[in-house]
Structure 1
Amino acid sequence: MSRKGMKLLVDSLTRSAKHFNKSEVECLVKLFDTLVAKACREYAGAGFDRTVFRDTLHSALGMMDEVVLDRVFSIFDGDNDGCITVVEWVEGLAVLLRGTLEEKMKLCFTVYDLNGDGYISKEEMFQMLKNSLLIQPADEEPDEGVKDLVEIALKKMDHDHDGKLSFTDFEKAVRDENLLLEAFGPCLPDIKSSISFEQKIFRDIPK
């Protein structure tokens, strides 16, 4: 890409991604180029695929849950073509690493709403929790423990008592108790991983 092209891209992404300055966007574009070089050639340099995305979030940000990673990939991949472009990459990371509470609530809710109908149903809570709870007490029927957790979550978060969570329910619950943001599985990198990722990627930016 020419210097002029790069400048236009960085200016545009600094506006749309909001949470990064120009120097940071430049570093993220460089990282993007490195990842594209690892990707399969089918995207001809336009972006990278699900495998590279998952490997990167796994190794760089410590995100382990495969179902969650797949869902986060779908959120980044706004046009649903199986390829993460530079715009999707930078705008997605802006929310993942530095999003407002509102942005992070939308991201987590979308991850948990597996069928995209605008609600988190009991079945979806069950699926997500079953995934993220790896160690079960040996003497208990594993699914029973998960079902109990679903009931506890509903009791705490289902404000209109309709047996499922709308975004309004979810938002109210999270605003009352921030820890409920990732109630059904780890959608966001932990603070330590985020900080070390940023330090590594942005290390060449003059202070």
Structure 2
Amino acid sequence: MGCFMSVPKKPSHGRNGYENPVVLASQTAFTVSEVEALFELYKSISSSVIDDGLINKEEFQLAIFENKKRDNLFANRIFDLFDVKRKGVIDFGDFVRSLNVFHPNASREDKINFTFSLYDMDGTGYIERQEVKQMVIAILLESETNLADEVIERILDQTFLEVDVKRDGIIDREEWLSYVTKNPSLLDIMTLPYLREITMTFPSFVFNSEVDEISK
């Protein structure tokens, strides 16, 4: 860790091309110590398949599914949102900046935007019923919970009845913001109170929390 914290020749990057933790701390709600802890997590994930200092999709999925090789829509969406540069890999800087949305001190707006983008799979700026259904099914599959299609459809009916106030069959950002404002507990899963939770349970906590809500 001492080498990683050494003063770099360029102010924005540390040795081996990693961004300086002091700079990353200034750009996020993390402290320098938290960035250092995240670097240890990052190193573990990025070397699990190919030791190239980057996290690819397979490594990301292995981290989520605790070494079970499984492809999952939910995991793909999280990876896509973390893969800011759209290069098929996640570097350390983007890992920290993306993970920042789960920090207790991250803005409520960032958390709302992240959850909206999670369901807006095709990036149209609104959430369609089929996108919600795909995500619900993905979460249920991961939790090994089986629900009949008619039950899932009822969940969707109730969701759109509550959220789609314009009754146009889609959920836009304004409707999502209004819904979350009325139901702030929906953002509970977007906050990890302690660094230990970040380093030990990210990102599987999202599955557990969302499935619990669906099962109620």
TM above 0.5, one fold? yes
User: Does the alignment pair 1:135 with 2:141?
Assistant: no
**Secondary structure of the corresponding residue to residue 109 of structure 1:** helix
What is the RMSD of the two structures over their aligned residues, measured on CA atoms?
Answer: 3.0
1:11 aligned residue (14, 22, 31): 22
Would you say the 8 A contact 2:74–2:139 is kept in 1?
A: no
Where do residues 143-162 of structure 1 align in structure 2 (5 Å cutoff)?
143-162=149-168
Residues 130-178 of structure 1 show CA distances to partners (whole Å, capped at 9, x for unaligned) of 3333322xxxxx2222111111111101122211100110111011012
- When residues 181 and 26 of structure 1 are mapped into structure 2, their CA distance, relative to the original with a 3 A threshold, is closer
Give the structure with the higher percent helix: 1
Would you say the 8 A contact 2:101–2:111 is kept in 1?
A: yes
Moved more, 81-90 or 173-182: 173-182
User: What is the one-letter code of the residue matched to 1:37?
Assistant: S
2:99 aligned residue (93, 103, 110): 93
Would you say the 8 A contact 2:80–2:86 is kept in 1?
A: yes
1:107 aligned residue (97, 110, 114): 114
Measure the CA separation in 1 of the matches of 2:25 and 2:192.
23
**Residue matched to 2:45:** 35
Point out where structure 1 has 5 or more consecutive residues left out of the alignment. Answer: 137-141, 183-187, 202-207
User: What is the one-letter code of the residue matched to 1:120?
Assistant: I
Residues 83-112 of structure 1 show CA distances to partners (whole Å, capped at 9, x for unaligned) of 110111111111134333321211111111
Point out where structure 2 has 5 or more consecutive residues left out of the alignment. Answer: 9-13, 202-216
Shift of 1:31: 2.5
User: Does the alignment pair 1:171 with 2:181?
Assistant: no
Measure the CA separation in 2 of the matches of 1:128 and 1:155.
18
Would you say the 8 A contact 2:74–2:138 is kept in 1?
A: no
Higher RCO, 1 vs 2 (CA within 8 Å, ≥6 residues apart): 1
**Residue matched to 2:206:** none
- When residues 66 and 87 of structure 1 are mapped into structure 2, their CA distance, relative to the original with a 3 A threshold, is same
Would you say the 8 A contact 1:173–1:180 is kept in 2?
A: no
TM-score, structure 2 length as denominator? 0.73
Measure the CA separation in 1 of the matches of 2:76 and 2:156.
22
